[in-house]
Amino acid sequence: MSKIPVKDISKEPEMVSLYKKREKIYVREIHGLFQKLRSVSLWLLMLGYFGTPWLNLGERQAVLFDLPARQFHIWGMTFWPQDFMLLSWILIICAFGLFTITNLAGRVWCGYTCPQSAWSFIFMWIEERTEGTRNQRIKLDKAPNSIEKIRKKALKHTMWLVVAAWTGITFVGYFAPIRELVPDFFMFDISAWAFFWIGFFTVATYINAGWMREQVCIYMCPYARFQSVMYDSDTLAVSYDPNRGEPRGKRSKNKAKAAEQEALGDCVDCSMCVQVCPTGIDIRDGLQYQCIGCALCIDACDDIMEKLDKPKGLIRYTTENELAGGKIHLMRPRLFGYSAAVFAMMGMLAFTIYDRTPFQLDIERDRGRLYQMTVNDTVQNSYTLKLINMSQEPKSYSLSVEGLDGLNIIGKTDFDLDVNQLKEVSINLEIDPEVTKTKASKTNIEFIISETATGEEITREESRFIAPRS
Ligand code: SF4
Ligand code: SF4
């Protein structure tokens, strides 16, 4: 007789947590070639970020995003909301640039220049100076509360907050003149919005770089998730060489184990590569999405190899192909395609900026009336012109109209505009209806702006003139 299998469902189901509890990472400080390279990139980044808003060009801050005036001043050029197309271009170029660099050398952006990594490294540096080395920090966290522990922790958090606040002030300094913002901030005389954004960026920096650190890279950064699609077997990545390192094992001075020791690979299983890793992973487990490509494990392992009198490079920048016994091929069709696209787009962007008309003309027809008849029996159309001088010097401009013979401009035709000045002017165009009666009721016309001093045409915009049919 066959039995029907039954399952006991009377017991409480076992709860399995889908969330892994965070284990605090105590990163060991390491010195070496790649640590030096990152120090250089970090210093350059910090100098650029904290220093740029303090630089002036002429009377004005060299980089200032003046939102109330809707003007974006970048190194002597002024961009307007109308130029936002250029911003899309810049973002597309950055995205392609990131694809290119990732295809070439993996996550070098994350390891050397990403603000999250850069600020995290500053905060770790402060931690090392205030709480001591990795082992001292582990001991301190396990120790019961004491005056000394509270003093060290308080000093660390105060220093973190100072860096975070200065980061927030600097960020707002890109949107409000920083030379006025900083004294006003210390005098408590800043706007509520400035105060809000300084507070927001202070808190965000303190939490992201102080508390969340690798969690941002592992769980929040979208780049970590899709970077693998840009990799191929010729992408340079920080990798452990298992052919050379395995079987790994600790070395022993016991002569009885000499034969066993002989069979071991170069990895002495010292775990230094894990202890220096800011994301807490073991690179010996292979390429992982948590790896930010900082190469600190290379420095750590090279240091060990040097002490053991073995060649460096057990962990190194290499490719999947090379680890499989092949060669490193840096230039390949995919990378060539990405690079060509980036350079072509950069060239086009540079040409567009160079060729940009330093003047903006917007024309609005009076929507209320198609046309009006005057007491002199002429037809008039009304227009509002918006003129912006986007060049870096005050200029005089002249207005003319083409497209319909006998058309007169009623209103001002000469305008003086200061640098970045916007002027709104109303004008009427007038014509004898005899001229238009043989034409269509709507005629395309062009408004032309020329520079008064040289007579050179700056820009022309199309509009329409409407007149009765008969
Ligand atoms: S640092 Fe080098 S030797 Fe030490 S465990 Fe890592 S790979 Fe092995
Ligand atoms: S494994 Fe860790 S230390 Fe090595 S490159 Fe990746 S993130 Fe850096």
Give the model confidence (pLDDT) of 120-153 as tens digits. 999 999 999 999 999 999 999 999 999 999 999 9
Place of tokens 């205030």: 130
Angle at 228 between CA 226 and CA 229, to 5 degrees: 75
Under 8 Å between Cβ of 93 and 342: yes
What is the position in ligand 2's atom list of the atom closest to the CA of 111? Answer: 8
CA dist 203 and 219 (Å) reads 19
Tokens of 420: 């970045």
Tokens of 450: 């020329």
Pocket (CB within 6 angstroms of ligand 1): 240, 245, 267-273, 284, 300-301, 304, 314-315
pLDDT at 114 (0 to 100): 93
Tokens of 193: 């919005």
pLDDT at 333 (0 to 100): 87
pLDDT in tens, 21-44: 788 999 999 999 999 999 999 999
Mean pLDDT, to the nearest integer, of 317-344?
Answer: 90
pLDDT band for 438, please (50, 70, 90 cuts): low
What is the position in ligand 2's atom list of the atom closest to the CA of 315? Answer: 4
pLDDT at 153 (0 to 100): 97
What is the position in ligand 1's atom list of the atom closest to the CA of 274? Answer: 6
- Residue 366 pLDDT > 90, yes or no? no
- pTM of this structure: 0.81
CA–centroid distance, 143 to ligand 1, in Å, is 30
- Provide the percentage of residues in the chain whose pLDDT is more than 90: 64
Set out the domains of the chain in order of their start, with CATH numbers: 22-356 (no CATH), 359-466 (2.60.40.10)
Residue minimizing CA distance to atom 2 of ligand 1: 301
Angle at 236 between CA 234 and CA 242, to 5 degrees: 90
Q: Enumerate the H helices of 26-73 as residue ranges.
A: 33-51
CA–centroid distance, 247 to ligand 1, in Å, is 12
CA–centroid distance, 308 to ligand 1, in Å, is 11
Ligand at minimal distance from the CA of 294 is 2
Closest CA to 126 of 154, 160, 150: 160
Residues 6+ positions from 322 with CB-CB distance below 8 Å? 328
Pocket (CB within 6 angstroms of ligand 2): 238, 276-279, 281, 283, 291-297
Residue minimizing CA distance to atom 4 of ligand 1: 270
Residue 27, classed as helix, strand or coil, is coil
How many residues can be counted in the chain? 470
The amino acid present at 83, given as its one-letter code, is D
CA–centroid distance, 257 to ligand 1, in Å, is 21
CA dist 197 and 429 (Å) reads 49
Angle between helices 192-205 and 147-172 (to 10 degrees): 130
- Residue 413 pLDDT > 60, yes or no? yes
